[in-house]
Amino acid sequence: MGRITVLISGSGSNLQSLLNAQAQKELGDGQITCVISSSKKAYGLQRAAIANIPTRVCSLYPFVKDVPKGDVVGRQECRIKFEEELAQQVLEQKPDLVVCAGWLLILGPNFLSRLRDIPIINLHPALPGAFDGTTHAIEMAWQKAQDTGNPLLAGCMVHYLVEEVDRGEPLIIKELEIIPGQETLEEYEHRVHEAEHAAIVEATVKVLKKR
């Protein structure tokens, strides 16, 4: 069995795609064994509970709540402690794969070094090299097409997680063309999410087959 730990921060729609794939035996020998959320309010926790998947919450807030925002060094030290705690929680699950499915916090070198022997993949709603490190990639791509008046090739990808944000080796790329004036931002966003749901399942299966 390929043990999968999924990291989430919000609604968990991409997690739901993985849960659906697992229920339909589309993950091969893959099995989601734990879902860890950066927020106790994340709806994705309920999705996991409905599927009888164990859940945990590992929030950054308790680590930084008593440190002033202006204390850069102090907050960096707290961030390191948070990453150490998160890494420990992940390692306790003995995963063969970690999937960041809407995880909104940047994972730094302390976390990555602890999990250096475990593949970690991440979903990014843009093509390789486009709109790195932003949570507004969908809006930015759509707006760029409207502003230039030219068609824009955009989309989403799943890539290996590395220290350079959104710069890891792509596993799955889904290209979507934006035609200016042809669709609203909401319509394009819907297309991206549909592509993401397919991509995250395909990437998970692809990595597990490499074991």
Which CATH number characterizes residue 20's domain?
Answer: 3.40.50.170
Active site includes 197? no
Q: In terms of residue numbers, what domain contains 167? A: 2-210
The distance of Cα 184 from the centroid of its chain, to the nearest Å, equals 25
For residue range 63-101, list pLDDT tens digits in order. 988 888 888 888 899 999 999 999 999 999 999 999 999
How many structural domains comprise the chain?
1
Q: Rounded to two decimals, what is the model's pTM?
A: 0.93
User: Contact 13/102 with Cβ under 8 angstroms?
Assistant: yes
For residue range 84-94, list pLDDT tens digits in order. 999 999 999 99
Looking at 124, 190, 193, 197, which residue is catalytic?
124
- Beta pairing partners, 4: 32, 97
∠ Cα 36 39 42 (to 5°): 85
pLDDT of residue 55: 99
Instruction: Please give the average per-residue pLDDT across 150-167, as a whole number.
Output: 92
For the chain, the 3-state helix, strand and coil shares in percent, each to the nearest 5, are 40, 20, 40
- Residue linked to tokens 């890539």: 159
- Residue linked to tokens 């074991």: 211
